[in-house]
Amino acid sequence: MRAKCAFLWHISLNVRQHKMTIIGRDKEIRDLKYCYESEKSEFVAVYGRRRVGKTFLVRELFEPEFFFYATGILNGDRQAQLASWNREILRYGGDGIPEAGNWVEAFVNLNKLVARTSDKGKKVIFLDEIPWMATMRSDFLAGLDYFWNRWASARKDILLIICGSATSWITDNIVNNRGGLHNRLTRQILVDPFNLRECRQYYESRRIPLTHFQMAEAYMIFGGVPYYMSLMEPHLSLYQNVDKIYFAEASDLRNEFTNLYQSLFKNADSYVRVIETLAKKGIGMTRGDIAFELKISDGGRLTKILQDLSESRFIRKYIAYGNRKKESLYQLTDFFSLFDIRFRGWRESYSTDYWLRFSSTTAYSIWSGVSFEKLCLLHLPQIRKKLGISGVLTAAYSWRGINEDAGAQIDLVIDRGDNVINLCEAKFSSAPYTLTKSDSESLRNKRAAFVYSTHTRKAAVTTMITTFGLKKNMYSAEITSEVTLDDLFEPV
């Protein structure tokens, strides 16, 4: 008992110390620490988008205390995966344990490894990238089923953590498993990209000197994905870093888009076609529109693709405000995918200063406007805080007009429980935004079209979300609520 208490104290100390190096992830750390300190065995799934820092999180917390750690091999066949597993069994003290020829034997060997130890503390077993381990027609799930249901779950000292970037595989085969693993997970931890506040903490920890505006621009390119951010160098400007990381010959992210989808999905070309189609419509498309655009059947295959992309956080599914048909829209929300689709064809246009040159083009203005709208959508809690409605029941939508109002659209509609609706207009600019007469008329017309089309009885007010606020003039006085970029960095 003394040994276990000492070990728990050690891991608790580790968590406190590592919170200095792990940016954010407070809830994830609490969940993992709780599972470690519980009085029963725990089966935890950690999943999320590729490059988001799942493995880093688990290793930073537990690596010195790993009882066993194995990782899948990208594109490795069953034999290669088992060979890697056998090597890890040997490395973690499995001398004399015969090599496994299948996954049931592999997990039996893991049982034997645990049975050998006299350690009374929690044994952390980390299986990383398990979708790569579970090759076609392998018996991996049968082995995992055996290990957990017939042995580990009956003990009190196992913390089994499985991890994978192929979120849809984890969901289909573990979370929604209909066999022996059905409802066996004791905790699910979804790791999302950083928000702006966490990005600032990361840049400060790396001593990368960026302003809030530059951090927002970087977010609209890299999407708060820690691995992408880690490629930035402190001595380079943002423009130089973007050139080095993405545009230059042999740059780190030159082929990232292709590699990203191929590593996550079988028949990745079908997924990429959907992503590239959604990139054309900022507000999103119905599945019928997607099928028509791609000239494919609006059937089960498309359902599966859209579901996988949603679960992997590349797209979002939502109902547009006032849509009486309740027809869902699908919207591309992955920043890097949108950036790559818009700019990959331009990489051959210039020999140097790619991003500096692009920043003055119409293509940049269109891209930054769409991306800033998505950035605002992902920071809705911060917007609600600035508007003073954190304690008010709210729902967020988008809206697009129909028939005579077909040209009107509002990308963020905040429907409030206090009988007010905020119609948010996002503007990305390098200086305080100047509302013109034309802008003012457009905003009034949108508000009128929204009220007329939706028949709302709530008070509809226009809210401006800008980078540096509104420049004061005769038209800015009509705006009753504002949110600036600085507000999106606030804690909630």
Q: From the first residue on, what is the mean pLDDT of each consecutive set of 10 residues in the chain (492 residues)?
A: 41 45 92 95 93 94 93 94 97 95 96 91 95 90 93 95 90 85 90 96 96 97 96 95 90 93 91 96 90 91 94 89 78 95 80 80 90 95 97 91 71 94 96 95 94 93 97 93 97 92
Q: What angle do CA 61, 50, 395 make, to 5 degrees?
A: 95
User: CA-CA distances (angstroms) from residue 287 to 282, 296, 308, 309, 403?
Assistant: 15, 11, 14, 13, 20
Beta bridge partners of 395: 415
Residue with tokens 């409030």: 416
Q: Would you say how long the chain is, in residues?
A: 492
Q: Which two tokens stand for residue 175?
A: 């979370």
Beta bridge partners of 47: 164, 190
Residue whose C-alpha is closest to residue 343's, from 316, 322, 364: 364
Q: Report how far residue 355's alpha carbon sits from residue 370's, in angstroms, rounded to the nearest whole number.
A: 17
Strand order through the sheet with 66-71: 66-71, 123-128, 158-164, 42-47, 187-190
pLDDT score, position 19: 42
Residue with tokens 């990381």: 245
Q: Report how far residue 284's alpha carbon sits from residue 370's, in angstroms, rounded to the nearest whole number.
A: 12
Residue with tokens 């289909």: 172
pLDDT score, position 405: 63
Instruction: Tell me whether residue 310 is exposed, middle or buried, using C-beta atoms within 10 angstroms of its C-beta: 0 to 12, 13 to 18, 19 or more.
Output: middle
Query: What is the residue-wise DSSP string for 307-367?
Result: HHHHHTTSEEEEEPTT-TT--EEEEE--HHHHHHHHHGGGTTT-SS-HHHHHTTSHHHHHH
pLDDT score, position 248: 87
Domains of the chain, residue spans: 2-190, 257-343, 387-489
Contact call for residues 408 and 401 (beta carbons, < 8 A):
yes
pLDDT score, position 240: 93
- CATH 3.40.50.300 for domain 2-190: yes
Q: Which fold does the domain 387-489 belong to in CATH?
A: Trna Endonuclease; Chain: A, domain 1 (3.40.1350)
What CATH number should be reported for the domain whose range is 257-343? 1.10.10.10
pLDDT score, position 9: 38
Q: Report how far residue 261's alpha carbon sits from residue 337's, in angstroms, rounded to the nearest whole number.
A: 10
pLDDT score, position 167: 85
